[in-house]
Amino acid sequence: MPPASWGRTVREFLTTAPTLDQLETPVLTVDRAALTANIAVMAEWVRAAGVRLAPHGKTTMAPRLWADQLAAGSWGITLATIWQAQVARSFGVARILLANALVDPVGLRWVAAELERDPSFEFVCWADSVEAVALMDAHLCEVPGRERIRVLVELGGPHGRTGARTVDQAHAVARAIDAASRLTLAGVGGYEGALAHDRTAPGIRAVRDYLGELARLHRELAAAGRYRSPAIVTAGGSAYPELAVEYLAPLSDEQGRHGVATTVVLRSGAYVIHDDGFYASMSPLASPECARPLRSAMHGWARALSRPEPGLALLDAGKRDLPFDEGMPIPQRVAVLGGVALDGDAAVSALNDQHAFLRLRRGAATELPIGAVVRLGLSHPCTAFDKWRLIPVIDDADAPVPRVVDLLHTFF
């Protein structure tokens, strides 16, 4: 943040009507119009699909955005670690889905105490082995009280991440949860995105096969009478949400008219920011055929520091500032030279800790002067937000001089 902001509150700083060109580089920004539109697009999409949404909060770790997502109708917030859940709870999130096993004794004691302190608080986590269930129950039995933690059986897949590898193994986990003193079987869950990374035929087939097995597991548990309370079925990242809906939405039966009351929950998280890289190529909601497609709400802004040789510029943003695990930053336009577009005329070939190697191919891009600011499209919001504690929100990333209209705090 610029020296003019030091010592001021966010509200006081915003009353000065700051603009993007008053900020130092490098900087990450969020586009308010795109952000607002993305939240609305996903809320409408899940509502039309007849499922619920518990967006993955670890994407942004920005409680302000969680509040916006909940206000738009989200069922709850998903988190990945117990400390993330504690952050969410400190900001008043009333329903948390921990998309992971919880075997940490300190975390388990905290959950038990929080459930006792506030009976309206809802918490659900996962388990994928009989050993994990036994450990969870043993830790909880050391804590006074009778609160039970609701646990989903996590089903995985071949060469995936966590999760029971077969439906038979998942049944064993369900039996162990059912027999535990301080746990309750709450449903089934998993993550299809760990099984594919593209939209090739083999990738789509792997996702479809997995979702079919997850649906089968829930039906078999219901038929066996394993559920003693309403069930949750959850999957669905940001890459294949339409497939999760295709296979899991038919299980939705929140009133229990056809058996066990069942809530189907998607956990897509990246949609709220989207990107110009991986998710732009993967998400079905980013297709040009969509009436209101998702659009990237994040950009990096970096300044040319050096032109040491023809066709090369060094920018002042690197691995410490911008995501790079799902593709390099994409040069989009220069904030001088009449806002010249760089699409196709330049590419980032490498990142150091604090430098980007911008290769200039032809046209106006080759005239990029030292001091010019380049707007960069980015790939993967999950590894963009974790680098910034305070993120300026601008009114329009395409404006000649974007206005800073808010600041987002992150809690990584």
Q: Residue 198 corresponds to which amino acid?
A: D
Tokens of 328: 């390099």
Per residue in 135-172, pLDDT (tens digit) is: 999 999 998 888 899 999 999 998 899 999 999 999 99
Instruction: Inform me whether the pLDDT recorded for 273 exceeds 60.
Output: yes
Check residue 367 and give its pLDDT. 82
CA distance 343 to 338: 15
pLDDT digits (tens, 9 = 90+) for 248-261: 999 999 999 999 99
In whole angstroms, give the CA distance from residue 176 to residue 135.
11
Above 70 in pLDDT, residue 391? yes
* Burial (CB count within 10 angstroms: exposed 0-12, middle 13-18, buried 19+), residue 258: exposed
The whole-number pLDDT of residue 364 equals 64
> Tokens for 257?
């008219």
Residue at 371: amino acid letter: G
Q: Confidence band (pLDDT; 50, 70, 90) for 288?
A: confident
Q: What is the mean pLDDT of residues 194-201?
A: 93
Query: Is 182 in contact with 147 (CB distance < 8 Å)?
Result: yes
Whether residue 61 is predicted with pLDDT greater than 60 in this model: the reply is: yes
Calculate mean pLDDT across residues 52-81: 98
When pLDDT is cut at 50, 70 and 90, the band that residue 230 belongs to is very high
Considering the chain, what is the average pLDDT of its residues?
95
pLDDT band at residue 338 under the 50/70/90 scheme: low
What distance in Å separates the CA atoms of residue 155 and residue 129, rounded to the nearest whole number? 10
SS (H, E, C) the chain: CCHHHCCCCHHHHHCCCCEHHHCCCCEEEEEHHHHHHHHHHHHHHHHHHCCEECCEHHHCCCHHHHHHHHHCCCCCEEECCHHHHHHHHHCCCCEEEEEEECCCHHHHHHHHHHHHHCCCCEEEEEECCHHHHHHHHHHHHCCCCCCCEEEEEEECCCCCCCCECCHHHHHHHHHHHHHCCCEEEEEEECCHHHHCCCCCHHHHHHHHHHHHHHHHHHHHHHHCCCCCCCEEEEECCCCCHHHHHHHHHHHCECCCCCCCCEEEEECCCHHHCCCCCHHHHHCHHHCCCCCCCCCCCEEEEEEEEEEEECCEEEECCCCCCCCCCCCCCEEEEECCCCCCECCCCEEEEEECCCCEEEEECCHHHHHCCCCCEEEEECCCHHHCHHHCCEEEEECCCCCCCCEEEEEEECCC
Burial 55-89 (b: 16+ CB within 10 A, else e): bbbbbbbbbebbeebbebebbbbbbbebebbbbbb
Amino acid at 74: S
Task: Say if residue 318's pLDDT is above 90.
Answer: yes
Phi, psi of 244, deg, nearest 5: -60, -40
Neighbours of 215 (CB within 10 A): 20
Percentage, residues of the chain above pLDDT 90: 91
Instruction: Report pLDDT for 145.
Output: 84
Strands 52-53 and 262-266, by their bridges, are parallel
Between CA 412 and CA 400 the distance in angstroms is 32
- Please name which of 354, 341, 364 lies closest in space to residue 314, comparing C-alpha atoms: 354
327: left (phi over 0), alpha (psi -120 to 50) or beta: left
Assess whether pLDDT exceeds 70 at residue 299.
Answer: yes
Report whether pLDDT(404) > 60: yes
Contacts of 201 by beta carbon, 8 Å cutoff, 6+ apart: none
Q: How far apart, in whole angstroms, are the C-alpha atoms of residue 251 and residue 214?
A: 11
**Is the CB of residue 378 less than 8 Å from the CB of residue 276?**
yes
How many angstroms separate the CA atoms of 61 and 172, rounded? Answer: 34
Lookup: tokens for 162: 């966590």
On the question of pLDDT at 366 being above 90, the answer is: no
Share of the chain above pLDDT 70, in %: 98
CA–CA separation, 231 vs 254, rounded Å?
9
Tens digits of per-residue pLDDT, 4-20?
999 999 999 999 999 99
- Name the nearest CA neighbour of 99 among 116, 115, 83, 80: 80
Within 10 angstroms of residue 212's Cβ, the number of other Cβ atoms is 13
